[in-house]
Amino acid sequence: MAPSDMRRLAPVTAEETDLAFRDIWGTSTGWKTIKGWDECGRIISRASQRFLIGLPSSRNEAMLETSRLYANALLVGGAIINCFPPWMRCVVAPLIAIRARYFQARYVKMLVPVVEERIRQYEAGLYKERDEVRKDDFLHRMIPMCAKDAEQLNAERIALRIASLLTPLIFAICYVFAHCVLDIHSSHDRVEILAGLEEECRRVSAEFGGLNSSASLDALKRIDSTIRESMRVSDVMVTNIFRDVTSGVVDVGNGLRVGPGVRMLFPTQDIHMDPDNYDDPTRFDAFRFSRPFQDKENLGDGSEEQEFITTPTPTFMPWGYGRHACPGRYFAAQSMKQALSYLVLNYDVELVGPRPKRKALLNMMIPPVDAKIRIRRKA
C-alpha cells in the first residue's frame, strides 16, 4: 500500500475504529478492568478486517476472534520452532503448528463463501457497480488481479492469501498499540504526555473537522512521535533484517568478510538503546521526535524534517531498512494513529498493578499478555 492509498482508506478505518471502541471497550463512564493485550487486539482486528475483506464480514465476531487467534498462534508457533536446533525442526514443526493450522482452517472455511460471492459478482459483470465503500477493501482489489489467471481465481486460494496477511496486520499492529498504551500509562510523565496528546488531537480535529482524513492524521506530530518512541523502546525483535549470503564474498568493513551460507542480521534493539544514537535511551520520551519541530521557528532553514513512524533510518529499524522496508507500514501507522488518538480523546486509562516486565523468547520479545488496564469512557 502506497501513501496515496491512505487518503481513501482513512475515513473507512476511522469509522471502524470508532465502532470497534464503542462495541468492545464500551461507552460506560464507570471503571472496568480488561486484559490490555486481548482487548487492544480486538480493536486492531476490527479495523484490519475492514480493510482486508470489507463489510459486513469484517464485523462477524466469530471470524474476528478466529483471525486474531490465528495471527497470534502463527507467530508464537514460529518463535517456539526456532527454539529447537535446525535438525529437529522438521520433526517438531508439524506438532507445534497444530494450533495455527486449526485456526487457519476455521478462518478459511468462514471466508471462502465471502470470496465465492465476490467472484460471482465479478463474473456477472456487477463488480464495477458495487458501492464505493467496498472498493476500499483488499479483497475487492484482489479479485480482478486473480482473474487474469484462471488457476488463481480460486476461492480457497484467495482466502489463504488473505489469511497470510493476518499476522502482520493484526499481531504486529496490536503489539505496537498495546505497548504504546503501556508505555504511556507507566511513564512518570504520564500526566504531561496525555495532556499534550489530547491538546494536539483536539486542536487538529477542530482544524480539519475531525480525525477521519489522511491530512488530519499527518498533522498529529505528537501522536506520531509517541508511537515511534514506543516502537523504539518496546520493539518486537531483539535483532532484525536477516540477510543470507548466497554467493560470493561480502565485505562488511573493518576487515570482516563473510562468505556463502552465512546469515547476517542487525542488532536493532542495541541500536535503539545506544546512547550514541539517542539521549537517555532507556527512557520513554513520548515527544522525543516531535519536540524539536513543535515551534515552526525551530525549523530554521527547513533542512531538517521530523522523522515519522514510517521513516526507517540507520538508527530506527522496526520496519527493516532500504528497498525492502515493510510495504505495509503506511497502513499500520495510520491504523495506530487512529486508535491512539481515539483512545486519548475518549477514554481514561489506568494500569492495574505494576507493569509486567518484558521477557524474551530467543529473538522475540513476548507480548504483554498478562497486563491488565482499567478503562472508562470520558463524560
Residue listed under C-alpha cell 486481548: 38
Q: Look at residues 97, 69, 72 and name the one whose alpha carbon lies nearest to residue 82.
A: 97
Residue listed under C-alpha cell 487512529: 338
Q: Is 294 exposed, middle or buried (0-12, 13-18, 19+ CB in 10 A)?
A: middle
* C-alpha cell belonging to residue 153: 481465481
336: three-class secondary structure by DSSP: helix
Is the separation of the CB atoms in 55 and 95 below 8 Å?
A: no
Is the separation of the CB atoms in 36 and 371 below 8 Å?
A: yes
Q: Residue 245: what are its φ and ψ, rounded to 5°?
A: -80, 115
Which residue type sits at 284?
F
Report the C-alpha gap between 145 and 136 in whole angstroms.
Answer: 15
What totals of helices (H) and strands (E) does the chain contain, helices first? 14, 9
Report the C-alpha gap between 39 and 58 in whole angstroms.
Answer: 17
174 is in an annotated binding site: no
Task: Give the annotated binding-site residues.
Answer: 326
Residues annotated within the binding site for heme are: 326
